[in-house]
């Protein structure tokens, strides 16, 4: 009696892409996709640990994307694996870029307020010219 075994060829995951975008309320959407590979499985981490409900606004398994809440920053990793590829491919996402953008916006705002305050500096007439006083209205 012969035994027949069905063999279905599978391909390993060959490449992974990560895309991110800022949403209107300050949330961040990160999408992960893979090239090649049969039945890929996607998982997400933030700073090397699993994402929590307080960090995640939503998960879309159809588009392999997550939406992060406004306060979340750090390195997001998307791991893709299948039954052929036992090791996951990890890509560090642009959440770090979002943090850098946030810092740049803060310093731009601070610089704008500094120039505004600089323009409103008041130097009163003084009896003693050797004293230096500057008042700034905030």
- Please report, for the chain, the start and end positions of each structural domain, with discontinuous segments joined by +: 15-119
Average pLDDT over all residues of the chain: 73
The CATH classification of domain 15-119, taken from the options 2.60.40.10, 3.30.930.10, 3.20.20.210, 3.40.50.150 = 2.60.40.10
- For 102, phi then psi, to 5°, come to -60, -40
Is the pTM higher than 0.75? no
Q: What is the pLDDT of residues 83-112, one digit of tens each?
A: 776 545 455 555 555 666 767 777 777 777
For the record, the structure tokens of 57 come out as 């606004």
In the sheet that 65-68 helps form, which strands lie side by side, from edge to edge?
15-22, 28-35, 65-68, 56-60
| pLDDT over 70 percentage in the chain | 62
């Amino acid at each position: 009696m012969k035994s027949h075994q069905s063999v279905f060829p599978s391909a390993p995951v060959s490449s992974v892409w990560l895309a991110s975008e800022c949403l209107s309320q300050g949330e961040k959407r990160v999408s992960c996709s893979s090239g090649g590979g049969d039945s890929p499985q996607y998982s997400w981490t933030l700073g090397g640990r699993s994402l929590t409900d307080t960090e995640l606004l939503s998960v879309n398994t159809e588009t392999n994307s997550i939406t992060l809440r406004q306060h979340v920053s750090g390195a997001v990793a998307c791991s893709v694996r299948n039954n052929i590829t036992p090791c996951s491919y990890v890509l560090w996402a642009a959440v770090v870029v979002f943090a850098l953008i946030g810092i740049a916006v803060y310093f731009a705002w601070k610089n704008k307020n500094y120039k505004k305050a600089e323009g409103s500096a008041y130097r009163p007439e003084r009896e003693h010219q050797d004293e230096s006083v500057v008042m700034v209205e905030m």
